[in-house]
Amino acid sequence: MNVSEGRGMAEFTQTARVLSVTDLTPNVRQLILLPTTQKLAFQPGQWVSLKLPVGSTPPLNRAYSMAVPASPSGELTLVFDRVPDGLGSRYLSQIRAGDELLLSGPYGNFVLPQPPDRELLFIAQYTGLVPIRCMLKAMYAHRETVPVLVIAVGPAEDELLYHQELLSLALMRPSFRYLPLVASGEESAVALTVSMLSQLVNDRSKVIPMLCGTKRFVRPLRGYFVETGYDRKDVKTETYD
């Protein structure tokens, strides 16, 4: 396909070589990829589409958010959790350094508001933290920013992603707050998050909510913000399913 046609560069599919495979938690793995044809210019929060050679009608397209901002090396850091019986994540689980993957992108508009002018409230369900971690890396590579609160819900204590990193950030940056929560199942994850929110954002001064996770997590939480007086469009969301 001529990359200048249609929706343009973003549709261009290329091979990427897997440089490394690292476990971040017992159930979450990081892949570092290097696209072989051209570097991707992307904003923190964006994702790529992997075209996986599995399923009844391959390729199986699966989206993965970049966990690290764009760098001169062109490397892409992707992070995924192993979904029980998940076709895509099962395929990715057997990928090794030296293997190749097909991808296109970048895509997506779950990105930092420019400029953020109020406190940012990130709420992540498990690997929903990945694009948020990328935004945090970009923000804290620079000067002090607006206050940030990250609420991260994981399925178990040892499945809290980037836990040490976020604890350290909270120690180093007075305006950064980190609230890790453990809940299994979307319903209890939502309930626990809401119970925390009612204490944390009850002062009527508006924050910028940015939510990422599955629909059953993100939708009720967006509903919570709308009920407390936010415009729907002011609640930024990314859903993974």
Ligand X SMILES: Cc1cc2nc3c(=O)[nH]c(=O)nc-3n(C[C@H](O)[C@H](O)[C@H](O)COP(=O)(O)OP(=O)(O)OC[C@H]3O[C@@H](n4cnc5c(N)ncnc54)[C@H](O)[C@@H]3O)c2cc1C
| Contacts to ligand X by CB under 6 A | 47, 62-65, 79-81, 83, 86-89, 108, 127, 130, 214, 238, 240-241
In the complex, least distance from residue 235 CB atom to ligand X, rounded to whole angstroms: 17
Q: How far is the CB of 125 from ligand X (least distance, A)?
A: 8
- CB nearest ligand X: which residue? 86
Q: How far apart are CA 234 and CA 209, in angstroms?
A: 7
Q: Reply yes or no: is the peptide bond before residue 58 cis, omega within 30 of 0.
A: no
Q: How far is the CB of 223 from ligand X (least distance, A)?
A: 19
- Smallest gap from Cβ 240 to ligand X, in A, equals 4
Residue 172: C-alpha distances to residues 32, 96, 120, 169, 228 (Å): 27, 35, 18, 5, 32
Nearest CA among 87, 84, 95 for reference residue 23: 95
Residue 30 contacts residue 121 (beta carbons within 8 Å): no
CB of 17 to ligand X, least distance (A): 19
Q: Which is nearer to ligand X, 131 or 201 (CB)?
A: 131
Which residue, 76 or 197, is less far from ligand X as judged by CB? 76
Please identify, using beta-carbon distances, which residue of 110 and 201 lies nearer to ligand X.
110
Please say whether the beta carbons of 88 and 103 come within 8 A: no
Separation CA 194–CA 221 (nearest Å): 7
For the record, the structure tokens of 134 come out as 């990328």
Q: How would you label 4-25 residue by residue, b for 16+ Cβ within 10 Å and e otherwise?
A: eeeeeebebeeebebeebeebb
- Minimum CB separation from ligand X for residue 183, in Å? 14
Choice between 89 and 193, CB closer to ligand X: 89
Q: Which is nearer to ligand X, 99 or 119 (CB)?
A: 99
Select 46 or 201, whichever has its Cβ closest to ligand X.
Answer: 46
